[in-house]
Structure 1
Amino acid sequence: MMEKYITQFSAYLFGDVNKDDLDMEKHSRYIIKRVLEYGMLQDWNIVKQYYGITRIVEEAKGFREMEPRALAYLSAISQTPKEQFKCYTYQRLNPQHWN
């Protein structure tokens, strides 16, 4: 059943790994992060259908880094304040020299 979801993702999304080795449960953090940062709308719909918004948000809260646009989108659709995401507080505490 999980293979059904993995094969539907955009080809470029997991080009650096073997899709056959991916497990939707064991690699959920990796899959969610990759889709949030690089996925197309169809990839987002697959992840949302499989995991649900609640689980996606809970996983994303633990990410140390996330694209600012992905954070803003996830925060807006889930109505979760950005301050609850580790990546937001981490970026604010450790600003990059060149942003």
Structure 2
Amino acid sequence: MHLSENLFWDVDKSDLSYEKHSGFIITRVFTKGDWSDFKQVLNYYGRDKCLSALKNTRYLDPKTLSFCSHYFGIDKSEFRCFRERQLSPAPWNY
């Protein structure tokens, strides 16, 4: 895969394994990637593995969560990040 360079600015790409770190890569691409990155990840990992990684991640921003819910055709309540979110908003939520 030839993913955008800006996706992994905070990690050493030479230490990143597509198989070992699949959950991290899938989540990062869905939250910060562009359409090309999105299509590459779906083609490489497949729909089921992407869905599994996203359903089990601890955090997705509201926009990404809505997109994933709509794209995969499942309810938001099936995502771990939705079920385990904080019950009250953060005190510094401006």
Normalised TM-score (structure 1) = 0.85
SS in 2 for 1:13: helix
What's the CA shift for 1:92? 5.4
Question: Could you list the runs of 4 or more consecutive aligned residues of structure 1 that deviate by over 2 angstroms after TM superposition?
Answer: 92-97
Q: When the two structures are aligned, how many residues end up with a matched partner?
A: 93
In structure 2, list runs of 5 or more residues that go unmatched.
Answer: none
What's the CA shift for 1:19? 1.4
Of 50, 55, 67, 1:61 maps to: 55
Say which structure is richer in helix: 1
Give the match for residue 71 of structure 2.
Answer: 77
RMSD: 1.5
1:19 pairs with 2:51: no
In structure 1, list runs of 5 or more residues that go unmatched.
Answer: none
Normalised TM-score (structure 2) = 0.89
Identity of paired residues, percent?
34
Counterpart Cα distance in 2 of 1:73 and 1:57: 12
